[in-house]
Structure 1
Amino acid sequence: MKELLYYQDAMQQEFTATVVRTGSEPDGRQYVVLSNTAFYPTGGGQPHDTGTLNNTNVIDVEKIDDEIRHYIEGEASTLSGEVHGKLNWKRRFDHMQQHAGQHILTAAFVELFDAPTVSFHLGSEQVTIDIAVDSLSNEQLAAAEARANAIILENRPIETKWITEQQLADYNLRKEVAVTGAIRLVIIPDFDYNGCGGTHPTSTGQVSAIKILGTEKMKGNVRVSFVCGGRVLAELAMRKTVLADVARQLSVPETEAATALTKLLASQKATEKALVAAKEELLTYEAKALAASDTHIIAIAFHNRTIQELQKLARFIVAERADVIALLVSENEDKLQFVAARGTQVDTSMKELATNVLPCINGKGGGSDQMVQGGGERIIACEQLLTAMQEALQ
């Protein structure tokens, strides 16, 4: 294990090795086992490396039964003898930055607040750590981030060391190690001592920067999302693009975008409130006009009226005239929806009416004897449903 190239020199990008054997998994995936490798297999929370063996793409790497399998595109039989391996260095170095950044941020939370990390995930866009606390204030997050970035700026060495179980007592480890036998430590002197099998840069300065993006409650812990290194620049570029676009659309400088957006949203909320009031008033006028009819059954077919509008209109109609039944139907794309309501002087059950007409549209509905609503498929015309409702009253 100690002799693996990615442990001897995590910064090594290319290597030469000999094919020991080839094979295939039951699912058809082809793999190659080498005499040595710089390709890191998935493990310890760190994703696998990718790259090439000669001109063949390596798409996955796993450690199985004490051998490292390099899963490739194409036939493994095309690789034999001596091969040249080349890592996708952009991917590997990104993982190294994120993993080392996690060590640094985790240690900062422990140092400042005695808040240990209980789990860690290195995703393709963000990194998360779950911290064993009930809550973290913005001030605590800012302090941990500042401490982590201070460690980065100090450019402390990141050292690795193999020790035995008997030597564990000589080190002030952040947490107990879960492995036995030869144990690999990742050490940032006078700051963090941790058992870890992942790959890391040679100094904290290579992590470049850490930025916390947010938090959320997660099973009694607090999950902290963050990015490191090149991902900080990518996140900054993305947010800069969004901010510039918002500022452009609001016709204000970027520094005033938040204030302008707050004003715009407040104005929109006021406009929406006024619009709702205006719609209510229009529905009242519409109900008065319909209730002025001489008939005792007011049956109307609409197009693209919401069920909420139908309900309000029906209530207004029967409130205006206690001796009428309001039957309102609307066609909305591939659906038919209806509302039936009765005035206080009418005894006919609207629930019975709904029971009779819902099968016509394979529909569902509910309500009371005074008022029901329902909806279903538009398998008949809007006017046909209205006719069926009128016939159900007879």
Structure 2
Amino acid sequence: MRRTPTPAWDFENGTVWEEYVDTAFVVANSLILLITSVVGIAANVFVVLAVYHQKSLQTSNNALVVNLAVVDFLRCGIDCPILLAIVMTVYRRGRVDDLICDTHIVSFSFSCCIQLLTLACISAERHQAIAQPFKASQRKTRIMVLIPLTWILAVLMAVLCLMYLRDSPVHARCKGQQREKLPSYDNFGLFMLFPLWAACFGVITGFYARILALVKSHNRKIFDEGTFPLSKKDPAEEERKREETTVVENAKHEKNRGASLPPVSETEAVKPPVEVEGAVCMMPSKAGKERASKKKESKMAKRAGYIIVTFLLFWLPLITTILVNVVSDKNKNAQTLIIQDLEILSVSVACITSLSDPIIYAAVNPQFRTEFYRLKNRLSSVFSKKF
């Protein structure tokens, strides 16, 4: 983004090269934010509508998914457009109004806090669903407490950032301030974003490691169902069956003649032994239901795991810039325009998580995917009738 105008062909200072690079970063930021905003809004609306229309999706675990979709919708609808306005305005005029700069610090800290906390809650609930699948009432109670708690904490975090941590790279560029003239730089990332991200990352990693251990343990307990042998005629066995049949017939004959003989049941007389080949796992009905429930929840944990991995990948550039700023804090004058552009780009990349979450749910969850197709067909039919 542009600084104070200098001679256009000052090759010694690299002005022309920096100008081209600056323009390239503006284009990259604009494309990322536009796509994330437009597609992310539609995708997250589809997630909420899918849960609303499909009763099988209205579970306590999916309540956290809906909470995540609402937060992602707000980020796509508010945070991304504000950041896009900052990028474009700073490129043209060098700075933006203070109200827009402060609004971005509030919206970005608010959405990041809820998103991180919700993903940590999802990993914890997936673990509980696998470890204790029949304690649904406790799960509902926890979620009813966790969702409002994440919003309250996010509001408090946003207020604190607005009061004490208005020194993020975006906020500094938004106001046209130079890093070397600021009393502090990126304490917002050092004292808010990085600790929150690291704590949630530790929680997510710990719970998913335990989930994988549980799934592996459950898989070891699954045995073959066993098979009955094919028809094999044994002469001795055939002879025994004939003798038993003769006993039954004699008993019936004597009964007709009035003789007092103990009754012989045909089912007791003719009872061939059952032979089973292979390993058989004899499990009570409750254990069978528990195993089926654990298998289902393990698949759900893998789907949530895809979201966690994608989320971490998109966050890594922003976390890297925060750590680099900590290391290079003593050498403030060494920061170039390209590094500043990379800082803004890392924030834009972090916003992609609000688009990737609903797409991953649509791609790997059959219930969500089926409901998405139904909603798409309904919308297509409505538009076809109007036009």
TM-score, scaled to structure 2: 0.22
Higher helix share: 2
TM-score, scaled to structure 1: 0.22
Indicate the structure whose relative CO is greater, using CA pairs within 8 Å and at least 6 residues apart. 2
